[in-house]
Chains A and B, each alone.
Chain A
Amino acid sequence: MNTKENFGYTKGQLSILVLLRVLIGWHFLYEGIVKVLNPNWSSLGYLMDSQGFLSGFFHSLASNPNVLQVVDYLNMYGLLAIGLGLILGCFTQIATIAGMVLLALYYLSHIPFVGASYALPTDGSYLWVDKTLIELVALAVLFVLPTGRHIGLDRFIFGKNAD
């Protein structure tokens, strides 16, 4: 294994990291596409469903139609852009940070704390830790172990030396 060629990653490590990046990118991109394709999609219900110590903030986002519209657009196109960035390895680090910010907001609005109950049924059992939080930490892994300049368009944008 040529460590220099692979930025110090083994071929296996690099492959897994890129796979993780692409899969998370897929998830973001598809969530974005679904929202853009649905003319009725709005973050309203989700925001109003928020519980916990930040729920007041999320409810206030929902209560103002202008703010809500901005939130809706940021979600739709934010998800789309982050998804594309992660899959293509294009401005990967920025996309990773943005993705973490979005996921942190999702997590904080719907923390599975003791006594929480949300409108949407979950696909499993969660206490404090849910898949949103895990996805967030997975993005953090990708941030500290970047791959965009190796496998990705960042190779053309920033050059292929270490990120």
Chain B
Amino acid sequence: MEKENQHNHPAKLGRRDVLKGLATLPVLGILGYGVWKKERYTNLKNKELSLELDLGYEPPMLHPIPPPKDSRTIRLGIIGYGGRGEHLVRAAGFAHPSVIDEWKKGAKENKNDKRYEDYLAQEDLNVVLAGVCDVFTVRSKRAMEASANIHREGTDGKMGTPAKVYKNYKELLADPDIDAVIIATPDHWHAQMAMDAARAGKHVYVEKGMTKTVEEAFALRKTVEETGIVFQLGHQGRQTESYAKAREVIQKNILGKINLIEVCTNRNDPNGAWVYDIHPEASPQTIDWEQFLGPAPKVPFSLERFFRWRCWWDYGTGLSGDLLTHEYDAMNQILELGIPYSAVASGGIYFYKDGRDVPDVFQAVYEYPDRDFTLMYSATLASDRQRGKVIMGHDGYMEVSDNLMVYADPESTRYRNLIDKGTIKPENPIFTYIPGRKNVDAVASATEQYFAKRGLLYTYRGGKRYDTTYLHIKEWIDCIRAGIQPSCNIQQGFQEAITAHMATIALRENRKVYWDKDKEKVV
């Protein structure tokens, strides 16, 4: 032995050598046994859980659309090219060259800035922006410049034929070379323009809130049904995968008897509170004030009213029409709520005392006695504490965002056994859906959940990153080609509008408002 120590490579291996060489090998056996045991335990628990829940992890089916009947290029018009109008047109494939410049610069300075890359990856929708109309000349010119940017290039790029600019929206609608219009004006114009467009045979994409009044909601529904145009209301949340998955959770009755739904809006910056920038070139010379006012009361020219129109009841529909509608539409999609039986509301102008007459803090409570639940909406424009969307049932609750987390209630009747057995731990989700995740029947690990909650997962990989506004426009275009109605059609829009108006009336008239569903009347 002593002698062997002198050699680099032992010629002979003694029994001691073998023992010492392999002394730690059994550790692998122990670890292997442990891993096997743990895997078996987890698989068993997961199996018990998935048997109980019967929920799949595959991406949910969104609005199914048959193949196109007509593949010709669709000629779009835009009415209202403010902040939202610009976003919609960009989503349709026409970004203003200066925006592309900014994105290119961003990508040059920061490798993680993928805005331009993502935008280029967006499928071409085979549409042209043929007509633009805005009452502010600076914006109509900007819309025209965007329309020519067919190669998605910056200011130094090659441009195509620009859109025709119309001074009045009626001229745009009269143009036979326009097939479909996007309406992104202030709310007080939505119904009138959408009806005029429908009567002119144009398909319509209109922003929310769908109408300014209850009467307009009825009139628009009638017109859209009579003309048979393809109508999409601008709730891009219809394209959020997790909402569709949440619908599955409801259909499978995972939460038990639902009794309370809580949705919220939390914002805390001037832009979010409708204090939009006033353009330096804006003046009575560059703005067609008469056309802006349209059906609204005649008041003297005001830059505040023009740019920050949401702050006045004359033009906007308040928190109810602007933001409750998104939350309601998400829940309507998941739960098929329909119009509520009753609404009460309250609120006030508590933070932005800037001359507005629309509250910046607002609460609405809707009753659904047929379904035995309440929908509660609460909003503030001056606190950013996020409260999320929660659907609460006797057996469990569900947090809905871009991800989905379903928890069992500790006092649940249905899950009592599994909770007692330790298969379900009420503090951990019983089901997690993270879009883009390789959801192969695996329960998301605690680590994944932490990262997902902070939005740190699947930003760059897995499910390609899309702008939901693009997907919503695309759905409308695809439906026009297939000759069917999209997901946020006039029926859904009607429910959205009436629901929002009920809360607005309740707030402004300080009373409880009811929906008489037999007579189809707000009382």
| Chain A positions near chain B (C-beta within 8 angstroms) | 4-5, 18, 22, 25-26, 29-30, 33, 37-42, 44-46, 48-49, 59-60, 62-65, 68, 84, 87-89, 119-121, 150-153, 155-156, 158-161
Interface size class of B (residues with CB under 8 A): 35 or more
Complex interface: stretch among B6-14, B199-207, B330-338: B6-14
By the criterion CB–CB under 8 Å, are B8 and A161 in contact? Answer: yes
Select B20's contact among A62, A155, A159, beta carbons within 8 Å: A155
CB nearest neighbor in A for B32: A33
By the criterion CB–CB under 8 Å, are A63 and B112 in contact? Answer: yes
User: A22 to B30, alpha carbons, bound, how many Å?
Assistant: 12
User: A19 to B59, alpha carbons, bound, how many Å?
Assistant: 47
Residues on B with C-beta less than 8 A from A25 are 27
By the criterion CB–CB under 8 Å, are B24 and A88 in contact? Answer: yes
| Chain B positions near chain A (C-beta within 8 angstroms) | 1-2, 4-10, 13, 17, 20-25, 27-28, 31, 35, 39, 111-112, 114, 437-440, 442, 444-445, 447-448, 450-454, 456-461
By the criterion CB–CB under 8 Å, are A44 and B8 in contact? Answer: no
Instruction: List 29 contacting pairs A-B, 8 Å CB cutoff, sorted by A.
Output: A38-B442, A38-B445, A39-B438, A39-B440, A40-B439, A40-B442, A40-B448, A44-B459, A49-B451, A63-B111, A63-B112, A63-B114, A63-B460, A65-B460, A84-B28, A88-B28, A119-B451, A120-B447, A120-B451, A150-B20, A155-B17, A155-B21, A156-B10, A156-B13, A156-B17, A159-B7, A160-B10, A160-B17, A161-B5
Residues on B with C-beta less than 8 A from A68 are 460-461
User: A18 to B22, alpha carbons, bound, how many Å?
Assistant: 12
By the criterion CB–CB under 8 Å, are A45 and B8 in contact? Answer: no
User: A87 to B29, alpha carbons, bound, how many Å?
Assistant: 11
User: A45 to B461, alpha carbons, bound, how many Å?
Assistant: 11
Select A4's contact among B5, B10, B39, B460, beta carbons within 8 Å: B5
Residues on B with C-beta less than 8 A from A62 are 460
User: A59 to B114, alpha carbons, bound, how many Å?
Assistant: 13
Q: Knowing that A18-B23, A62-B460 touch, tell me 18 more A-B residue pairs with CB under 8 angstroms.
A: A4-B2, A26-B31, A29-B31, A40-B444, A44-B456, A45-B447, A59-B112, A65-B460, A65-B461, A88-B25, A89-B21, A120-B450, A150-B20, A152-B23, A152-B24, A153-B22, A159-B9, A160-B17
User: A46 to B451, alpha carbons, bound, how many Å?
Assistant: 8
Select B461's contact among A37, A42, A46, A155, beta carbons within 8 Å: A42
4 tightest A-B contacts by CB?
Answer: A45-B451, A155-B21, A45-B456, A63-B112
By the criterion CB–CB under 8 Å, are B456 and A152 in contact? Answer: no
Residues on A with C-beta less than 8 A from B1 are 5
Residues on B with C-beta less than 8 A from A158 are 8
